[in-house]
Amino acid sequence: MSKESADPTIALVTGANQGIGYEVAKRLSSEYPNFHVFMAGRRQDAVEKAAAELQSAGLNVEPLVMDITSDDSIASAVEKVQAKFGHLDVLINNAGILSGKPEDSIRQRLTTVYNTNVFGSIAATEAFMPLLHNSSKTRRVVFVSSRLGSLAVRTDSEIGYPPIELLEYGSSKAALNHAAMTFAARFRNDNSWKVNVCCPGHCATNMSGYTGIDEASIGSIQAVRLATLDSNGVTASFSDRHGPAPW
Long-range contact set of residues 45-54: C-beta below 8 Å, sequence gap at least 24: 46/17, 46/18, 47/16, 47/17, 49/17, 50/16, 50/17, 50/18, 50/22, 50/25, 54/25, 54/26, 54/29
Instruction: Determine whether 137 is an active site residue.
Output: no
Instruction: Determine whether 49 is an active site residue.
Output: no
Q: Annotated catalytic residue: which of 84, 173, 194, 210? A: 173
Q: Using CA atoms of 59, 40, 141, 174 in order, give the dihedral in degrees to the nearest 10.
A: 130
Q: Give, for 163, the enclosing helix (H) or strand (E).
A: none
Supply angle C-alpha 182, 235, 16, rounded to 5: 80
Q: Annotated catalytic residue: which of 22, 32, 114, 169? A: 169
Query: What's the rounded Cα separation, in Å, for the pair 232 and 118?
Result: 28
- Amino acid, res. 78: V
Active site residues: 169, 173
